[in-house]
């Protein structure tokens, strides 16, 4: 899954360096050509470690390798939206389609039903202006530990965050069912690209025959 995500990033012209945060004992397993750093105890600590190893830049793309079906086009759209919107961050997200209920802490009693028309499920990639993400990652240890995504940290420092609609196949692979769905999506992508490749091969043969 890491290889797939790295391959998608390498296809983006605006990205000129890739840093991967990994378990300390597996740095040698990183894809060729990337910078590998030991990850932290939380996702934001891992992002901070990766950012520290990155060269100077105007923007930073943060992505979870578990969203391995990400496309170069989604990365490109997120980067373009950051410039267009003038915000501090742009995050891939999907509108919530289920009814969401808030329950009492430690129990199952429903306290209220949220307006799903205002709710988005946040994903990655997330693109940040470097100054904004550096400021956010300077937060206290308690705030870093509480963060489930880095855009939330940017919000805590008063930064502006915009959502970017993501395609349905940008899901996170965390269960065996997710893996089966990912295999189906990859098979469909392969089938869609195969006819064009075969036509190109046949055209090349006819050109040689002439």
pLDDT per position as a tens digit, 21-63: 999 999 999 999 999 999 999 999 999 999 999 999 999 999 9
Count other Cβ atoms within 10 Å, centred on residue 41: 10
- Same domain? 30 vs 51: yes
- % of the chain at pLDDT higher than 90: 88
- Same domain? 160 vs 191: no
Residue 102 falls inside a structural domain: no
- Same domain? 151 vs 205: no
- Same domain? 28 vs 86: yes
- Same domain? 158 vs 65: yes
Which structural domain range is residue 189 located in? 175-210
- Same domain? 182 vs 162: no
Return the closest-CA partner of residue 38 out of 28, 49, 30: 49
Residue 142 falls inside a structural domain: yes
- Same domain? 74 vs 25: yes
Residue 18 falls inside a structural domain: yes
Residue 78 falls inside a structural domain: yes
Residue 104 falls inside a structural domain: no
Residue 36, CB half-sphere, CA atoms under 13 Å: how many?
A: 14
pLDDT value at 196 more than 80: no
- Same domain? 197 vs 147: no
Residue 34 falls inside a structural domain: yes
Residue 115 falls inside a structural domain: no
User: How confident is residue 194, by pLDDT bands cut at 50, 70 and 90?
Assistant: confident
Are 155 and 141 spatial neighbours (Cβ–Cβ below 8 Å)?
no
pLDDT value at 207 more than 90: no
- Helices 72-85, 2-10: crossing angle, 10 deg rounding: 60
- Same domain? 49 vs 133: yes
pLDDT of the residue at 209: 45
- Same domain? 207 vs 126: no
pLDDT value at 200 more than 80: no
- Same domain? 49 vs 85: yes
Residue 205 falls inside a structural domain: yes
- Same domain? 146 vs 202: no
């Amino acid at each position: 899954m890491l290889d797939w995500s790295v391959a998608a990033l390498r296809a983006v012209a605006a990205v000129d360096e890739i840093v991967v945060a990994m378990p300390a004992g597996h740095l040698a397993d990183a894809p060729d050509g990337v910078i590998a750093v030991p990850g932290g105890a939380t996702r934001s600590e891992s992002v901070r470690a990766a950012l520290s190893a990155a060269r100077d830049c105007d923007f930073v793309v943060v992505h979870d390798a578990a969203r391995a079906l990400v496309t170069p086009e989604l990365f490109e759209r997120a980067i373009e939206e950051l410039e267009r919107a003038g915000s501090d961050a742009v995050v891939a997200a999907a509108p919530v389609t289920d009814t969401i209920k808030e329950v009492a802490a430690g129990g199952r009693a429903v306290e209220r039903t949220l307006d799903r028309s205002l709710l988005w499920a946040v994903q990655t990639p997330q693109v940040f202006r470097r100054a904004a993400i550096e400021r956010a990652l300077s937060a206290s240890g308690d705030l870093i530990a509480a963060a489930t995504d880095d855009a939330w940290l940017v919000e805590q420092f008063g930064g502006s965050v915009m959502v970017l609609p993501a395609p349905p196949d940008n899901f996170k692979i965390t269960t065996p069912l997710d893996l089966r769905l990912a295999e189906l999506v990859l098979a469909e992508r392969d089938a869609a690209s195969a006819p064009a490749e075969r036509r190109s091969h046949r055209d090349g043969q006819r050109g040689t025959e002439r």
